[in-house]
């Protein structure tokens, strides 16, 4: 693919990504508002540093779980593209710093702390042989997870030292793609749900409550849903796993917003969990966020619509109303 300016003028919206199913809902929303856009599928290709990027608004949707789709170096490719776009002063939604956080929970936690946002006690471990030492220091039960993951990859609740020894020796153990495992305090929620708070253009869109009784794989995208026979889990009717809250107020909203602004993150879903004392622990920032279609149909608000409108507004702000005519070209 050629990323240079030659063939694509006038200005438009560019979506940088590596997973087509996650972009399909956005395509529909762009079409509905007649916004001009192109997609850059960033898995393999060229980046000529002597070239000039096209004019437009660049929305980075690179995902921490890209390696699970065979796109091992897509985040690295995207980082290079973002550096090039930044040099040319293009408007980017979720820029270089956002990508750094997308692929490192350590980077997320260290930045959240600067804004007074509590995260679960965590030890980063490089080398599987150090995991028992970290788990003993945190205290059982512990959560094991990947520093660079998403979709609940590698997230495992371990109850005891014996359980850890067994897990580490088993085929089920999988190291993080960046070699950094996180050993984390398990936050026991009194009720089995987590809350994911969606921000677009730095503003709160909505919060969605996610039922955790089926496990830790909580990606809201339709394509990620595990088909569970209803007899296996009668408590959850299909489609009830994600429930958008009609109203959401929380004392952490201003701190999350400051954190997002400081890290050049325009769009994100931030996940938190409450413990039995009602303390909120923030544990995951998804700069490449997805929205659950069934929950949105029931609620009426649509994340991808809000993103499309936000990007179109940025395009018109930067290039004038005429830029929106590009779709007709």
Ligand X SMILES: Nc1ncnc2c1ncn2[C@@H]1O[C@H](COP(=O)(O)OP(=O)(O)O)[C@@H](O)[C@H]1O
* Binding region for Mg ion (CB under 5 A): 271, 284
Q: How far is the CB of 154 from ligand X (least distance, A)?
A: 7
Q: Which is nearer to Mg ion, 92 or 265 (CB)?
A: 265
Binding site for ligand X (CB under 6 A): 120, 143, 145, 149-153, 155, 184-187, 194, 212, 216, 218, 271, 273, 283-284
Q: Which is nearer to ligand X, 194 or 295 (CB)?
A: 194
User: Helix, strand, coil proportions of the chain in percent (round to 5)?
Assistant: 35, 20, 45
Q: How far is the CB of 206 from Mg ion (least distance, A)?
A: 17
Do 205 and 139 contact (CB within 8 A), yes or no?
A: no
Residue 179 tokens read as: 């070699």
Q: How far is the CB of 202 from ligand X (least distance, A)?
A: 21
Kindly provide the b/e burial profile for residues 38-67, where b requires at least 16 CB atoms within 10 angstroms of the residue's own CB. Answer: ebbbbbeeebeeeeebbbbbbbbbbbbbbb
Residue 291 tokens read as: 């929205």
Q: How far is the CB of 269 from Mg ion (least distance, A)?
A: 8
Strands 91-93 and 56-60, how do they pair?
Answer: parallel
Q: Which is nearer to Mg ion, 35 or 265 (CB)?
A: 265
Query: What residue 151 binds from ligand X, Mg ion, none (CB within 5 to 8 A, per partner kind)?
Result: ligand X
Q: Which is nearer to ligand X, 205 or 221 (CB)?
A: 221
Query: What residue 194 binds from ligand X, Mg ion, none (CB within 5 to 8 A, per partner kind)?
Result: ligand X
Taking each helix axis from N to C terminus, what angle separates 253-262 and 105-114, rounded to the nearest 10 degrees? Answer: 120
Do 291 and 207 contact (CB within 8 A), yes or no?
A: no
Q: Which is nearer to ligand X, 82 or 273 (CB)?
A: 273
Query: What residue 102 binds from Mg ion, ligand X, none (CB within 5 to 8 A, per partner kind)?
Result: none
Q: How far is the CB of 270 from ligand X (least distance, A)?
A: 10
Distances (CA, A) of 142 to 115, 159, 167, 186, 280: 25, 7, 12, 5, 18
């Amino acid at each position: 693919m050629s990323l240079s300016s030659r063939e694509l003028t006038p200005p438009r919206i560019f979506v940088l990504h590596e997973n087509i199913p996650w972009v399909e809902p956005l395509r529909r929303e762009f079409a509905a508002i007649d916004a001009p856009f192109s997609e850059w599928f960033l898995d393999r290709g060229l980046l000529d540093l002597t070239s000039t990027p096209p004019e437009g608004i660049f929305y980075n949707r690179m995902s921490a779980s890209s390696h699970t789709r065979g796109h091992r170096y897509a985040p690295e490719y995207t980082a290079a593209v973002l550096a090039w776009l930044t040099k040319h002063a293009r408007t980017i939604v979720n820029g270089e710093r956002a990508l750094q956080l997308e692929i490192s929970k350590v980077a997320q936690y260290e930045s959240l702390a600067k804004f007074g946002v509590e995260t679960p006690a965590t030890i980063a471990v490089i080398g599987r042989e150090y995991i028992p030492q970290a788990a003993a220091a945190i205290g059982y039960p512990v959560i094991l997870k990947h520093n660079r993951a998403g979709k609940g990859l590698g997230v495992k609740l371990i109850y005891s030292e014996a359980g850890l020894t067994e897990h580490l020796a088993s085929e089920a153990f999988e190291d993080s793609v960046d070699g950094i495992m996180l050993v984390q305090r398990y936050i026991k929620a009194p009720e089995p749900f987590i809350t994911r708070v969606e921000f677009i253009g730095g503003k709160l869109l909505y919060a969605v409550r996610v039922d955790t009784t089926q496990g830790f794989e909580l990606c809201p995208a339709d394509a990620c849903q595990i088909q569970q026979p209803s007899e296996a889990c009668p408590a959850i009717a299909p489609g009830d796993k994600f429930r958008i809250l009609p109203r959401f107020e929380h004392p952490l909203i201003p701190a999350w917003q400051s954190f997002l602004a400081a890290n050049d993150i325009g769009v994100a879903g931030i996940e938190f969990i409450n413990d039995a004392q009602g303390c909120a622990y923030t544990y995951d920032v998804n700069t490449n966020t997805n929205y659950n279609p069934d929950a949105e149909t029931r609620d009426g608000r649509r994340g991808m619509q809000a993103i499309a409108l936000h990007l179109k507004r940025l395009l018109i702000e930067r290039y004038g109303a005429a830029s929106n005519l590009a779709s007709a070209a």
